[in-house]
Amino acid sequence: MSPELSIILPVYNEVESLPILWDEVRETIETLGRTTEVLFVDDGSSDGSTEFMRDLAKRDPRVRLLRFEANAGLSAAFYAGFQAARGEVVATMDSDLQTNPRDLVTLYARLANADAVVGWRSIRHDTWLKRMSSKIANAVRDGVTRDRVRDSACSLRLMRRHCLAAIPPFAGMHRFVVTLLHLAGYTVVEVPVTHRKRRYGRSKYGVRNRIVTASVDLLAVRWMMSRRLRYRVAEDTGGDEA
């Protein structure tokens, strides 16, 4: 029997965060009261994260572990999770403790009248440089796509299973999920969520290593928008016209 909810958690060298993260995810599952599977996607970790997740999967039948042979990036990790997920509702979030799993309860409550509910980090606890770069990136993205998304990079999202068909597998996809869902005609609701300071390690995605790739990805999404099929169709039943 398929679970009601699949939670996808990409992991790349987060061994210190994982025990705390799992405690929070487990509490959230109990609060939601939904049958749930948790998909950890190991993106080529080398710090002991793999061993922790492997042991967890042995102890808890709700946990599944997908492993990449080498680091492939966040888009690949999310997409692999999408392909493996069995739930009628699919959730995504980061594993570095900056997002709070408990916010999934709030997102779930808003899903009743939407195809997807996405987080918006209204108060950021990042460095000044990262906050400014995100603000500029969102402004540029909105200018090109005219999509008006408050926080396109927030990975805390909840969507119905049918939404997955609207998300193609390309590098950088994770930054444009909301735009892709809008493009497919789905109803998306933005909800303010908690953002916390990073406790351990440092961000794997710096300002400099995102500028060029994000720009290329943005052009690709703009191209998809310009090539969108637009038509109206009605079935002809062969009856006489009035």
DSSP annotation of 174 reads G
Q: Using one digit for the tens of pLDDT, what is the confidence trace for 18-64?
A: 999 999 999 999 999 999 999 999 999 999 999 999 999 999 999 99
- For residues 53 and 11, the answer to whether their CB atoms sit within 8 Å is yes
CATH superfamily of 5-127+150-202: Spore Coat Polysaccharide Biosynthesis Protein SpsA; Chain A (3.90.550.10)
Pairing of β 89-92 and β 157-160: antiparallel
Q: How far is CA 36 from the centre of its chain?
A: 17
Of the chain, the percentage scoring pLDDT greater than 70 comes to 74
pLDDT at 107: 96
What is the identity of the amino acid at 13? Answer: N
Question: Where do the domains of the chain lie?
Answer: 5-127+150-202
Q: Using CB atoms within 10 Å of the CB of residue 45, give its burial: 0 to 12 exposed, 13 to 18 middle, 19+ buried.
A: buried
Return the DSSP state at 207. Answer: S
Dihedral angle computed from the Cα positions of residues 59, 64, 68 and 71, in that order, rounded to the nearest 10 degrees = -80
Query: Given this model, what pLDDT does residue 206 score?
Result: 47
Q: What gap in Å lies between CA 158 and CA 110, rounded to an integer?
A: 10
pTM higher than 0.75:
yes
Which phi-psi region, left, alpha or beta, contains residue 48 (left: φ > 0; alpha: ψ -120 to 50)?
left
Task: Spell out the residues 6+ positions from residue 103 whose beta carbon is closer than 8 angstroms to its own.
Answer: 119, 156, 191, 193, 194
- Average pLDDT value for residue range 87-99: 95
Residue 203 CA to residue 198 CA, distance in Å, equals 8
Q: How long a stretch of residues is the chain? A: 242
- How far is residue 112 from each of residues 15, 45, 188, 189, measured CA to CA in Å? 35, 37, 11, 11
Give dist(CA 92, CA 156) in Å, integer. 5
The predicted pLDDT at position 235 comes to: 76
Residues linked to residue 165 through DSSP beta bridges, in sequence order: none
